[in-house]
Amino acid sequence: MASLICGSLAFDTIMGFEGQFASQILPDQLHILNVSFLVPSLRRDFGGCAGNIAYAMRQLGGTPLPMATIGQDGVGYLQRLRSLGIDTEFVREIEGSYTAQAMIMTDRDNNQITAFHPGAMMQAHVTQVPRRPDIRLGIISPDGREAMLEHAEQFHAAGIPFVFDPGQGLPMFDGTELAHFVRLATWVAVNDYEGRMLCDRIGIDLAELSRRVRGLVVTRGAQGCDLWEDGHRTHVPGITASAVVDPTGCGDAWRGALLHGLEQGWPLARCAALGNRVGAIKVASRGPQNYTLDAGVRDAA
């Protein structure tokens, strides 16, 4: 059984600011904002939601199929995916474009400011969700606007249950479009802020949102996550990380564990518990794809 992961492949340039963003920004001067941050540390990592989710799934022994687009600079990313044993059949190169690029700056309180160049990701809709018996599960994660809309329709038409994970792409859609995503989806996964925005735009609360899907997950970082099923909430406590080094990609690591559990037919609470555990391991490593899951985690999965 394989899971089709619709989303971005991107290069992440991650910079560390040793101060606090809040102390550098004057709230009453936002209309003339002009700030500069000294970032002594800088690294470039493989990232993008599809890549990060696929990495987590593969670490857990799953069969991820990332469906994404890369640019003329993406050969190294293809090689990396293949070296990890991740099938790249649905990764397409777009000539004349760069691979999506995220520039992420993190302060000492783990607040983040991100600039994102979509590049080849804007052509992600050219690849269609196939009807194949081995593809039994999918996810719509942040991607090009057209791709997210079309792939959701294609999953539904193919009878493939999928997770709707709007993430940073949520602001691209109005309430009518978001309600349509929810009608098509089997599960919805959001963080606390995204959950509030999603409900606000549709005009419902979390309880009602959960009645429209099989399961709703609201992640809350170190506090764990809330699971909503048919209007009822269950809290799954977080796991204390050995160190808090870099939050980049934690949500994607969590979603990789969610997909792995759903592949196995687990109840949502067990999927969430594994997600909390994988997220805690990820936050102790720099970059979204540089952590390693030990045998104990893999065996538990």
Q: Is residue 107 part of a domain?
A: no
Looking at residue 300, what is its pLDDT?
63
| Strands laid side by side in the 187-191 sheet | 91-93, 64-70, 2-6, 135-140, 162-164, 187-191, 215-219, 225-229, 232-236
Q: What is residue 299's predicted lDDT score, i.e. its pLDDT?
A: 60
User: Is 145 part of a structural domain of the chain?
Assistant: yes
Residue 174 belongs to a domain with what CATH number? 3.40.1190.20
Mean pLDDT along residues 125-130? 96
Domain-embedded: residue 117 = no
Average pLDDT, integer, range 34-61: 94
Specify if 164 maps to a domain.
yes
Is residue 153, in this structure, part of any structural domain at all? yes
Start-to-end CA distance of the chain, whole Å, equals 15
Predicted confidence (pLDDT) at residue 16 exceeds the cutoff of 70: yes
Q: Is residue 112 part of a domain?
A: no
pLDDT in tens, 72-87: 999 999 999 999 999 9
Residue 301 confidence (pLDDT): 60
Lowest mean pLDDT, pick from 78-87, 106-115, 120-129, 152-161: 106-115
Q: What global pTM score does this model have?
A: 0.90
List residues with catalytic annotation: 252
Strands (DSSP E) contained in the chain are 2-6, 10-16, 41-47, 64-70, 91-93, 100-106, 112-117, 135-140, 162-164, 187-191, 215-219, 225-229, 232-236
Is the residue at 135 inside a domain? yes
Residue range(s) defining the domain that contains residue 166 = 2-11+46-101+123-300
Whether residue 128 lies inside any domain: the answer is yes
Calculate mean pLDDT across residues 125-137.
Answer: 95
Per residue in 232-256, pLDDT tens? 999 999 999 999 988 889 999 999 9
* Structural domains of the chain, count: 1
Cβ distance 241 to 280 under 8 Å?
yes
